[in-house]
Amino acid sequence: MNGFPLLAGGLLITAALALGLQTLQAAPESAATPPPAEVAPAPALPATEPLPATSQEQAAPTPDATEAAEEARSEVIPTPEVTAAEVSAPPTPTLPASASLPGLRHEYQRLNNCGPATLGTAMSVWGTPDTQYDIAPAVRPAAGDVNVTPAELAAYARAQGLDTHLAPGGSIDLIRGLLSEGIPVIVHTWFVTDDGGMGHFRVLTGYDDAAQKFLALDSYLGPLGMDYAAFDELWRTFGRTYLAVYPPEQGAAVTALLGDQADPQVAKQSHLEAALAEAQARDDAVGWLTAGQAALNIGDARMASLYFDRAFAAAPNPALDPTRPSWVQGGLPWRTLWYTFGPLEAYTRTARYADVLRLSGNILRDVPSHEEAHYWRGRALAGLGRTAEARAAYTEALRLRPQFAAAQQALARL
C-alpha cells in the first residue's frame, strides 16, 4: 500500500469488506508470511509553512513560464456536452465465463511497498525472480517515499525485458480480456479501511462472471475476490488506470484486445469523452478529477484546470475519506495528491503558482520526503522568479530520488 499509517498488529478491514471484498479460501502459490505491523513515518513539517494563495503571488512575473503565459487566459471555458453514446470502445470479444492465472508468487508487502511487491507478483508469472526487495531500491530509493507511480513500475518491468501497456480509462471487459489471455493486470485503486483512505496497487489474476468477481492478489490482505461493481468504484478514483505486464510475444494479443484503443491518441480522446460523460452524470470530485487528468493528457491545461477546480469545489465523500482531518478543504479525498499530480501540473502550466504552492505545501506537511511535491513546488517558485528557492526545492527532490529526470532538467534550466 502506498504510504498510510496503519494500526500496529494488523489492519482493520471492516470498511473494505463492506465495499465487497471477500477473502478467498485458496492460498496463493508460495505465499509469504503475513505482513508485520506497520509503523507510519513520524509526521514532520516542511522547513517553511505552506504559503497562502495571495493575489500578489498569482500575478507575479513568470520568467520560467513561457508555456504558462501562453496558456493562461481569463475567460471561462464552458464544459463540452458529451454523451455516453459518443464514447468509442473496442469491440468486446466472446470471452470464457472465467479465467485464472496459475503460477504467480504472492508476496506480502513491507512499509509503503505495495507497488514493488505487486509488480514482483505480476512479473513472477513470466519467471522473473525479482521481489519487492529488488524493485523498491530502484523505484523508491528514499525510505520515506510514500508513492510509486504506475509509470515507474512499467519502466522497471520493461528494464527486465517485458513489455507493458499502461493507460487510464480501462474497463471491466478489457481487464477480463487480458486475463483470458493469461496476462496479469496491475490496477491502481483507492483502498478504504477504518483508518482512512489511500492509494493501493493490486494485481488481478482472474475473474468469475458467475460470481461477478475479479480474483486479486493483494500485497497486504492476500488473495481476494473483488465484486465487479465495488471494484470499479475504487478503481475510478485513479481514472481506471491499468498496467498489463507481458512478454514481447504476447504483444499481438494485447493489440488485438485493445482494438482502436491501441492508438494512444484515440485512447486519450476516448478517455476524455468517457470521463466527461461520467463527471457530468455524477458531478462528484472523483469524476471531475478524472476529467481534468484526461484533458491534461491531450494537452489542454486550461480546461484541465477548470475541471480540477470543480473537483476541489465538490462535496467530500465520507465513504472514501472516513478519517478526513478537519483542516482539509475541497472535495477530493485526503491524500489524493500524494498519488496523482494532475492539478499541480495544470495549475503550473496556467501560471496559478499560488495554488501550486498551497497544494504542494499541504502534501509536504504530511510527507516531507515527497519528491514530486518538492519538484512542483520548485516549478512554481521558478515561475515566480524565486530562483534560489526553486533551486533548493529541485535539489531536495533529487536528494530523495537522484534519477528524477524532470527535476534534473528543471534544475539545469535555472
Query: Whole-angstrom distance between the N-terminal and C-terminal Cα of the chain?
Result: 36
Contacts of 100 (CB under 8 A, 6+ apart): 205, 206, 215
Supply the pLDDT for residue 327. 87
Rounded Cα–Cα distance for residues 294 and 311 (Å): 13
Supply the pLDDT for residue 58. 39
Mean pLDDT estimate for the chain? 83
**Is a pLDDT exceeding 60 seen at residue 69?**
no
Supply the pLDDT for residue 308. 98
Supply the pLDDT for residue 93. 62
**Is a pLDDT exceeding 90 seen at residue 264?**
yes
What's the rounded mean pLDDT across residues 93-116? Answer: 93
In a domain, 71, yes or no: no
Using pLDDT thresholds of 50, 70 and 90, give the confidence band for residue 329: confident
What's the rounded mean pLDDT across residues 356-371? Answer: 96
- Residue 369: DSSP 8-state: T
Among the listed residues 122, 68, 150, the one whose alpha carbon sits nearest the alpha carbon of residue 347: 68
Q: What's this model's pTM, rounded to 2 decimal places?
A: 0.80
Contacts of 56 (CB under 8 A, 6+ apart): none
User: To which residue does cell 471561462 refer?
Assistant: 76
- Using a 10 angstrom Cβ sphere, with 0-12 exposed, 13-18 middle and 19 or more buried, the burial of residue 273 is buried
More confidently predicted of 24 and 117: 117
In a domain, 11, yes or no: yes
Percent of the chain with pLDDT over 70: 78
Percent of the chain with pLDDT over 90: 72
Supply the pLDDT for residue 36. 37
Burial 194-229 (b: 16+ CB within 10 A, else e): ebbbbbbbbbbbbbeeeebbbbbbbbbbbbbbbbbe
**Is a pLDDT exceeding 50 seen at residue 56?**
no
What's the rounded mean pLDDT across residues 5-30? Answer: 37
In a domain, 375, yes or no: no
Supply the pLDDT for residue 172. 97
CATH of residue 113's domain is 3.90.70.10
Supply the pLDDT for residue 1. 60
Helix axes 251-258, 172-180, angle to 10 degrees: 150
State the DSSP H helix or E strand holding residue 274, giving kind and residue range, or none if neither: helix 264-282
Alpha helix segments (H runs only) across 163-223? 172-180
Tell me the residue range of the domain where 283 lies: 1-47+79-330
Please give the grid coordinates belonging to residue 300: 489542454
Number of domains present in the structure of the chain: 1
Among the listed residues 189, 185, 2, the one whose alpha carbon sits nearest the alpha carbon of residue 104: 185
Strand 222-227 and strand 213-218: the pairing is antiparallel
User: To which residue does cell 513539517 refer?
Assistant: 45
**Is a pLDDT exceeding 80 seen at residue 213?**
yes
Rounded Cα–Cα distance for residues 135 and 145 (Å): 14
Q: Which phi and psi (to 5°) does residue 108 adopt?
A: -80, 140
Contacts of 61 (CB under 8 A, 6+ apart): 384, 385
Rounded Cα–Cα distance for residues 113 and 315 (Å): 31
**Is a pLDDT exceeding 70 seen at residue 46?**
no
In a domain, 388, yes or no: no
Contacts of 390 (CB under 8 A, 6+ apart): 64, 378, 379, 381, 382, 410, 414
**Is a pLDDT exceeding 70 seen at residue 273?**
yes
Supply the pLDDT for residue 354. 98
How many Cβ atoms sit within 10 Å of the Cβ of residue 8? 8
For residue 210, is it left (φ>0), alpha (ψ between -120 and 50) or beta? alpha
In a domain, 154, yes or no: yes
Supply the pLDDT for residue 2. 57
pLDDT digits (tens, 9 = 90+) for 312-322: 999 999 999 99
Residue pair 349/67 in contact by the 8 Å Cβ criterion:
yes
As beta bridge partners, residue 21 has 226
In three-state secondary structure terms, 202 is strand
**Is a pLDDT exceeding 50 seen at residue 13?**
no
The CA-atom distances, in angstroms, between 300 and each of 41, 242, 272, 291, 352 are: 37, 23, 11, 11, 15
Rounded Cα–Cα distance for residues 189 and 236 (Å): 7
In a domain, 351, yes or no: no
pLDDT digits (tens, 9 = 90+) for 129-182: 999 999 999 999 887 788 899 999 999 999 999 999 999 999 999 999 999 999
